[in-house]
Amino acid sequence: MRISLFVPSPSQALRVLNNFIKKVVVVVVVVVVVVVVVVVVVEVVVVKVVVVVLAAAVVVVVVVVVVVVVVVVVVVIPAEAANNESAPITTNLSTDGLTCFDTDISLSYLRPLVRVLVTQNCLGCLMGRKLTTSGTLINTGHI
């Protein structure tokens, strides 16, 4: 029985080693390129997802603000106006013979503002004027 061993020459060994190194380098380069491409694509996708989420949040905020404004304009203000329309018009007679409108007849839309600004019971005093019984306005000198 004969056993023969293959012993490559030094040049053959170098060529095999060189081919192996080339294959390893190619594999490493391909892996690095794939990893870089995946990272870049994932980063772009993540950035796009974040931008889309932020844009959606802005849209939601804008929609909520618009809905609140519409509800106030369409529901709250007309309801306040309807409540005020049924209120009787009252006047107070002051000591100097001049009548001063009560806050109940203020403009429906301005009623909350008038409540803050007007002096006690007197809408005409807000402008520094009172309405006489004949319907003419005179200056009262106190604003």
Predicted confidence (pLDDT) per residue in 41-70, tens digit: 888 777 788 888 888 998 998 898 888 888
Which letter does DSSP use for residue 95 in this model?
A: T
Q: Which amino acid is at 8?
A: P
Q: Which of 27-36, 44-53, 85-94 has the lowest mean pLDDT?
A: 85-94
139 forms bridges with which residues in the sheet?
129
The domain ranges of the chain are 8-86, 87-143
Rounded to whole angstroms, the Cα distance separating 132 from 140 reads: 11
The answer to whether 70 touches 64, Cβ cutoff 8 Å, is: no
pLDDT mean across residues, the chain: 65
Which letter does DSSP use for residue 100 in this model?
A: E
**What is the rounded average pLDDT of the residues 112-120?**
41
Rounded to whole angstroms, the Cα distance separating 117 from 115 reads: 6
